[in-house]
Amino acid sequence: MGFKMGIVGLPNVGKSTLFNALTRTAAAQAANFPFCTIEPNVGDVAVPDARLDKLASIAGSKQIIPTRMTFVDIAGLVKGASKGEGLGNQFLANIRECDAIAHVLRCFEDGDITHVEGRVDPVADAETIETELMLADLESIEKRRANLVRKLKGNDKEAQQQDRLLAAAQAALESGKPARTVKVDAEDARAWKLLQLLTTKPVLYVCNVAEADAAEGNALSQKVAEMAAAEGNSHVVISARIEEEISQLDDEEAQMFLGEMGLTEAGLDRLIRAGYALLHLETYFTVGPKEARAWTIRQGTLAPQAAGVIHGDFEKGFIRAETIAYDDYVALGGEQGAKEAGKMRSEGKSYVVKDGDVMHFLFNT
């Protein structure tokens, strides 16, 4: 299981440059004019995880298969998108299909790169896009509630639940707050998700800074950090241009380049980790002589459902999961050492899989 994150932002903030770095391609055209990205570019990228390499080394695995995540480079948004301005309708449809939003904000000054609003103000840029998404949600809610009237008169319970949730979202939006601020009970969680409101999507602010500010950020990225903290959202600071350069280098050259820039790791690694945290995701591993492989699950996933990520039959016929914690696997030199030390556990259907678990599933066919 992976997830799909939409890269959004106003034109000319560095979205396509970031996408190029993420996918290690030049598929997304980066040009100094609005709407250079017409169709959304989609890229599957490997999730970097040093633990996987360590496990493969211990087990002598012939193949290493990381888990993957999908990024979507979505056409630039302008004020009025909720009313169809620019590529508004297409933008809104594309973002609706994503699990989360990576909102790229321009936190650099460059006279050679025009800003669609004629100024550099990342907080105002964030507010522009949030406002357009909120307006689009309000329009959608009003239409949906009007369409529910007949069913409500017939006391349709599903319609009543839907209308109640839409009303809660509408109240939040009309008070100037995104729909994700609405507290939803567990019994309403599924129906709430099916509403597919744009402002329920988790947001990660990506501060795109100049190369010289990549290590520490700057005054503009600090303003974004304060905004994100006030909203309860996350942020990362990266230089999309540096990341694009690094993506074209081999590992050794990349490490040397990072060192010269005063960076300890690539900004993309921080971005991916932040994305994982944003959607409450974690990783478990399967390890053997043939391959070492990482699998993505949501936090709180039970063993049978974790097995189902590999294959549906694993979940249906689940018997038990032989489980070793990552630290134990490494410290004891692999599966045999963990067995001998009593660190391999047999876990049943109620076991909540932990991040880093090394697992082997037994199931009925």
The mean pLDDT value for 226-234 works out to 91
pLDDT tier at 90, thresholds 50, 70, 90: low
In the prediction, which pLDDT does 71 show? 86
CA 204: distance to chain centroid? 8
In the prediction, which pLDDT does 235 show? 94
The dotted CATH code for 4-278 is 3.40.50.300
Is 218 a known ligand-binding residue? no
Is 17 a known ligand-binding residue? yes
Is 128 a known ligand-binding residue? no
In the prediction, which pLDDT does 2 show? 58
Domain ranges of the chain: 4-278, 300-363
Is 14 a known ligand-binding residue? yes
Is 364 a known ligand-binding residue? no
Reply yes or no on domain 300-363 having CATH 3.10.20.30: yes
pLDDT tens per residue across span 178-201 = 999 999 999 999 999 999 999 999
pLDDT tens per residue across span 308-329 = 999 999 999 999 999 999 999 9
In the prediction, which pLDDT does 91 show? 67
The mean pLDDT value for 59-82 works out to 79
Q: What is the pTM of this model?
A: 0.81
The mean pLDDT value for 340-348 works out to 97
pLDDT tier at 48, thresholds 50, 70, 90: confident
Q: What is the mean pLDDT of the chain?
A: 87
pLDDT tens per residue across span 262-313 = 888 888 888 888 888 888 899 999 999 999 999 999 999 999 999 999 999 9
